[in-house]
């Protein structure tokens, strides 16, 4: 990823919006703790199973690993 959240693509590839997903990690009191680029990255960095994170996001669990989780789809624009 380039500076400022812009993905730098090789020359010749079209500049277009690129969707990606962000996992927001909150303390139980609702304070934002961290941001992760997807559930798999959140799993690697926190050692909390992505399946537990997904269940917390969908409401099947109240939390995962002692944290509350949200999942947002974001769109960024790419540059050459």
**Which is more confidently placed, 65 or 74?**
65
SS (H, E, C) the chain: CCHHHCCECCCCCCCCEEEEEEEEEECCCCCEEEEECCHHHHHHHHCCCHHHHHHHHHCCCCCECCEEEEEEEEEEECEC
SS (H, E, C) 27-46: CCCCCEEEEECCHHHHHHHH
Query: 12-59: per-residue pLDDT in tens?
Result: 545 555 556 788 788 877 888 888 888 888 899 999 999 999 999 899
pLDDT at 78: 60
pLDDT at 20: 65
Q: pLDDT grade, residue 65 (50/70/90)?
A: very high
Q: How far apart are CA 67 and CA 47, in angstroms?
A: 12
**Locus of tokens 């789809």:** 73
Label residue 50 exposed, middle or buried (CB < 10 Å: 0-12, 13-18, 19+): middle
pLDDT at 9: 46
- pTM of the prediction? 0.65
């Amino acid at each position: 990823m380039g500076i400022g959240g812009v993905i730098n693509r090789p020359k010749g590839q079209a500049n277009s919006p690129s969707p990606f997903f962000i996992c927001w990690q909150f303390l139980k009191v609702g304070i934002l703790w961290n941001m992760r680029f997807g559930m798999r990255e959140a799993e690697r960095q926190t050692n909390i199973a992505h399946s537990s994170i997904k269940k917390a996001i969908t409401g099947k669990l109240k939390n995962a690993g002692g944290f509350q989780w949200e999942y947002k789809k974001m769109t960024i624009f790419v540059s050459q």
